[in-house]
Structure 1
Amino acid sequence: MLSSTTRLALLLGGWLLLPAAGRAQAPYPAPVEGDFALPQFRFASGETLPMLNLHYTTVGQPRKDRSGRIANAVVIMHGTTGAGSSFLSDLFAGHLFGPGQPLDAAKYYVILPDAIGHGKSSKPSNGLRMKFPKYTYDDMVVANYRLLTEKLGVAHLRLVMGTSMGGMETWVWGYQYPGFMDALLPLASLPVEIAGRNRMLRKMAIDMIEMDPEWKGGAYTTEPKTGLAGAASSLIFMGSSPKQLQRLAPTRALAEATLAKTEASLYTALDANDFIYQFDASRDYNPAPHLAAIKAPLFAINSADDQVNPPELGILDNEIKKVAKGRYILLPITDLTTGHGTHSNPAIWGSYLQELLALTEKPKL
């Protein structure tokens, strides 16, 4: 049974961090945090940053095959406004990283990066504000590739997976570095340009912040609350499940109390400039023309009640045909699905992850 806090976090599509597992109870090795400095990092926009810091968390230990290559590395990428630590929750890590679980950390070396602009990685709120380079998902993938190859010594990945924004990065990984991984698992994402209602809601959220006089062109000293309130309304609409919100808040009083709790959490978690960058980073994302370049087996998993990637668009039904070893899995709406946030509940989709890992298991020599 999910706690009300966990269910609310899931219903918000991952915009709020899930409650972290207590270290004393966690059935997997203690996470280890680290940082990787990339001097003079050049972005796709042509801008450079004198020093880009990429923060990351690892769980488990790297293990090498007979050729001396790390063979058990898995990278998991978080969603918009999140961080690698988002995955260190009872709901996620507690169902994946423990003994006998799909990504048992005694067997796998799990790497959880903080994307550019998120978590403890370099971001506008560190000081540059709106002068921070205008990063994209491509920049995130390149930075993660360099983290793996230059810092962690990983030349090949057992699995690339991600949720929401991380799912979109997974598609990019597939065609940018097609020989780098054994398997791909994008969750809650579509491999096409962000357009239609999705882009409109993102742009509306950004506009609400920038129209608030207290934003001051990004030079605010206190968060522009009116703008963030408008942005929060887009987040709530995008990430929520009508069915589950009705169950969670079946009366006016409960609905308003749940909204107040949600807004308070978002106001505490969000920085206005970081938010603008995070939601605009998808502006040139579009894997569709490159899907035929993906070589590794790929399972794309979405939930039928996902308001960000609604199945009635029919997009994945068509685009998955371009992926040589691709499979589209649409999870039906149940009492357990929570809209977009279903991506963070492996109790629902973990069996497909196990199937993908078994399918791509290399025979032992």
Structure 2
Amino acid sequence: MKLFIVLWSAILINLSGYAQAKFPTGTESDYAIKNFKFETGDVLPQLNIHYTTLGQPIKDKNGTVTNAILIMHGTTGNGRGFLSNLFAGNLFNPGQLLDAAKYYIILPDAVGHGKSSKPSNGLRMKFPAYTYDDMVAANYRLLTEHLGVNHLRLVLGTSMGAMQAWVWGYTYPDFMDALMPLASLPVEIAGRNRMVRKMAIDLIKMDPEWKQGEYTAQPKIGLTGAISSLIFMTSSPFQMQKGSPTKSKTDSSLVLLEQRYFTSLDANDFIYQFDASRDYNPAPYLSKIKAPLFAINSADDQVNPPELQLMEKHIGSVKRGRYILLPISDKTTGHGTHSNPTIWGSYLQELLALTAKE
């Protein structure tokens, strides 16, 4: 989630040791999808999908795009969040695994996020109640109708984007060569995960200043409660103790973190973003996934705790699936480990080699 891009980026860049700031910044643009129909049946006359691209598409003699890579962000984030020293600086530079001179990299803002259409654009709580399936469908149309991409070399996602990677795998099983979901589980959102999401939503709605979504200023009390839920779930106890070893340091760090959240979050957008997972459940469809899939989680991820053993239970249903659990180390940062390719890059290299075509 976006929290770790904000909180731990400086720490992680130091840990990586060789992050480079030479990667291209990419080109931003928009695609307006007319009369987009959501799973609810609601139709939006125009759904705007904002995106960033790096590199250029390459086609083979049959007209199939061979070098397109789709990378999807987490809840409350946006595509340009990947253009950091930590992520892009260790992947997109010349000679690196996802060299932007070699690959056509597509970084969309999901429905309800970034500069794509979202409740805060004006519809507020009248905006269609979108799902992850709607996000995937919108991105598919962006690729095929607008960008001319008819095949993906790789689908990679972090957190919410990782969950969408599973959906991509079984919805469009012939569309990609490889899948890498980072920090996710291919099961229904339930248990503590669902409770925390619902509590965060309820805390906003219980604030009288929310006003059924018609507020003129952000409902700060409710939003503060929602942020507390985020911090608890996505943080790393080890890294938080390391970064804030005293009471005064902890209190000042919390104030800074909350301030950063308040400048980037909208209460209605937040409600929609956290409710979008309500119908997510790839488990019944995993056997439809054809492409090799490497699912990577971190042992200190409180959103997807390994002790639940849910991945072990379901990964066998993916014909060419593999589960990698990263052990806790001084470099892992809980859920935010998904944004540090210096930790999991070797597995990406292996997956790319495994799916390379002669």
Asked whether the 8 Å contact 2:49–2:117 carries over to 1, the reply is yes
Partner of 1:5: none
Partner of 1:279: 274
Counterpart for residue 113 of structure 2: 118
Residue number in structure 1 paired with 2:133: 138
1:255-314 per-residue CA deviation (whole Å, 9 max, x = no partner) reads 111111111111111000000000000000000000000000000000000000000000
C-alpha spacing 1:35/1:140, structure 2 compared with 1 (3 Å): same
Q: Does 1:261 align with 2:256?
A: yes
The yes-or-no answer on 1:211 pairing with 2:206 is yes
- Structure 2 residue matching 1:339: 3-state secondary structure: coil
| TM superposition shift of 1:14 | 4.6
Say yes or no: does 1:318 pair with 2:302.
no
Of the three residues 136, 152, 175, the one matched with 1:180 is 175
1:81 equivalent among 71, 76, 81: 76
Instruction: Tell me, in whole angstroms, the C-alpha distance in 2 between the residues paired with 1:250 and 1:159.
Output: 40
CA distance in 2, matches of 1:257, 1:120: 31
In the alignment, is residue 354 of structure 1 matched against residue 342 of structure 2?
no
Q: Which residue number corresponds to residue 302 of structure 1?
A: 297
Indicate the SS of the match to 1:329.
Answer: strand
State the aligned residue count: 350
Farther off after superposition, 57-66 or 128-137: 57-66
CA distance in 2, matches of 1:17, 1:266: 14
User: Matches of 1:17 and 1:216 in 2, distance apart?
Assistant: 34
1:90-169 equivalences in 2 (<5 Å): 90-169=85-164
In the alignment, the residues of structure 2 paired with residue 38 and residue 347 of structure 1 have an alpha-carbon distance, to the nearest angstrom, of: 37
Give the partner amino acid of 1:119: G
Give distance in 2, aligned partners of 1:294 and 1:190: 15
Q: Distance in 2 between matches of 1:16 and 1:298?
A: 29
Does the 8 A contact of 1:15 with 1:82 survive in 2?
A: no
Cα distance in structure 2, aligned partners of 1:142 and 1:296: 19
Q: Could you tell me how far apart the structure 2 residues matched to 1:297 and 1:318 are?
A: 18
Q: Distance in 2 between matches of 1:127 and 1:142?
A: 23
Partner of 1:240: 235
Percent identity over paired residues: 70
2:31 is the counterpart of 1:31 = no
What CA distance in whole angstroms lies between the structure 1 residues aligned with 2:168 and 2:41?
21
Provide the rounded CA distance (Å) in 1 between the counterparts of 2:314 and 2:4: 23
Code of the aligned partner of 1:263 = E
- Give the match for residue 226 of structure 2: 231
* Aligned match of 1:292: 287
Query: 1:72 maps to what in 2?
Result: 67
What code does the residue aligned with 1:31 have?
G
- Superposition deviation, residue 203 in structure 1: 0.3
Q: Deviations over 1:113-158 (max 9, x none)?
A: 0000000000000000000000000000000000000000000000
CA distance in 2, matches of 1:30, 1:264: 27
Segment of structure 1 superposing worse, 183-192 or 68-77 = 68-77
- Alpha-carbon deviation of 1:27? 2.4
For residues 239 and 26 of structure 1, the distance between their equivalents in structure 2, rounded to whole angstroms, comes to 26
The 8 Å contact of residues 79 and 164 in structure 1, kept in 2 or not, is answered as yes
Is residue 273 of structure 2 the alignment partner of residue 270 of structure 1?
no
Check the 8 A contact 2:25/2:83 in 1, yes or no. no
Matched to 1:235, the amino acid is: L
Alpha-carbon RMSD: 1.5
